[in-house]
Structure 1
Amino acid sequence: MTPGDDNDYGEPARTDEGPRYGGTRVRLPEDDPYGQARRGPRGPSRSMVTVVGVVVVLIAAIAFANRGGDDSPSGSSTSTAGGKPNATSTEATGTKPVQSKTGGIPSGFAHTRQGAESAAANFAVALGSTGMFQKNSRHDLVDTVYTTTAAAKLQAAMDQAYSADFLARMGLDADGNAPKGNTFVSRVVPVGTTAQAYSAAGAKVAVWYLGLIGMSGTTSTDPVTSSWKTWTFDLQWTDGDWKIAGDTQQDGPAPVPGDDAAATSDEISKAIEEYGGFTYAR
């Protein structure tokens, strides 16, 4: 679902500016079809200083991890007497997020807090995809990730929200298709999750994510932009899996924009075609 107004359905805001899913200003290179010039060179930025600091910390962490576990018995995953964790304490658990898929969407999540967080992250990805802009695939997505009761209430409301007029403002035809030679982009990239509440019957999980939306192409007047939002899901354990009973969204938290020059429309289109998504786990 393309993130939008703060409502229980996560529907897009129906304004002349399209859904409230983008909003981060981007600088376009000189050869971009929109013709905005790139900023001239300047001194080291705060982002560069931050990157250098992160690299130094990362190198130090790698050096520590490669010491061979001299401070504790071989194979031990517990902390030493001095309180320093063994390198194995940060290893992946090996727990797979899902064992199967339903309609191309991960399913069969574990009946645990970790499983609920994994489900929420994967649901955000599915509902933020381009499939939400086409009626048939949207109905399948909603029926798959929402409870039966919630899906029955949402379908008509979503059909109204994703109207032909709204699609036209996004540069799509009435069936949700992009013009020939253009690539429509709509993606949700989870950055992190947190279970605000959990029980065997239900969970409230927030997903902090980076969203991408827009039309990439030489004739596009709506370039791909990014936004930061938090999507909160009320999940229920039903029929052996986690399902969405309701959801809300809010803006941010958004980091300070960096100094990266915006890619051209051709570069964005190529990246969207070449780079697939992930199955997310906590």
Structure 2
Amino acid sequence: MIWPFKPRYRKQIARIEVTGVIASDTRKRVLEALKTIEERKYPALLLRIDSPGGTVADSQEIYSALKKLQDKLKIVASFGNISASGGVYIGMGAQHIMANPGTITGSIGVIIRGNNIEGLLDKVGVSFKVIKSGPYKDILAFDRQLTDPEKQILQELIDTSYRQFVITVAESRNLEETAVRSFADGRIFTGEQALELGVIDRLGTEEEARCWAAELVNLDPDKTECDTLEKPKSLVSRVLSNNNLETSRLASAKNWLEFELSTSGLPLWLYRP
């Protein structure tokens, strides 16, 4: 006997929101949500991205998980205020991409940064004695300048990561690599410019992206709701976020500082204004 009614999830669109810098916490949350989406067999996913990017490997894992789901459901990415660098990369995991005309996107490229406080240490009379197994074991050490061979090593690392980014954009958007490289020089551009470059498919709001996702799976856009999958917040977190804007800002600043410290010396797909 064929059951005449569709399960509830088959009549809804799943929604995931990626905000802020992309790091391990983002990856864990998104991968868990994608697993739930696959188990519940939603017909479509609305992926809302409002992120300047983040770590390379975490962005790659999210992208790979999205690509694997493409055979099972339609994925529409909606770029918000900013979807740059790693935000663009995970957006490549969607079959369809929409952005607002004024969305800040692009920043396709790689950056690596170390902190050098050699001058400050000299002033206060502090120095470090280092014993290492090889000449490059303490590359990007904060108490000395980079040597020319070290700069070459890091540049090769950057170039490899950059090539991976370019190839992914070219394959996902059906563009020539040379065309992608022409605008993948770290520059940012608007959603309107992204449409002209072929990085996105349409201009529109998140609501229009939701309607598009519904139409792709033959659901009525006027009746189809989004089911947002997110990690439940604790009662304390909900109270603080709702009643204390200053606390929320401090938490955001704290998270950004932690990200900066934890990713020093790592290659990043990140837009740094």
On whether the aligned pair clears a TM of 0.5, the verdict is no
TM-score (norm 2): 0.25
TM-score (norm 1): 0.24
Which structure's residues are more often helix, by fraction? 2
Greater length-normalized contact order (CA 8 Å, ≥ 6 residues apart)? 2
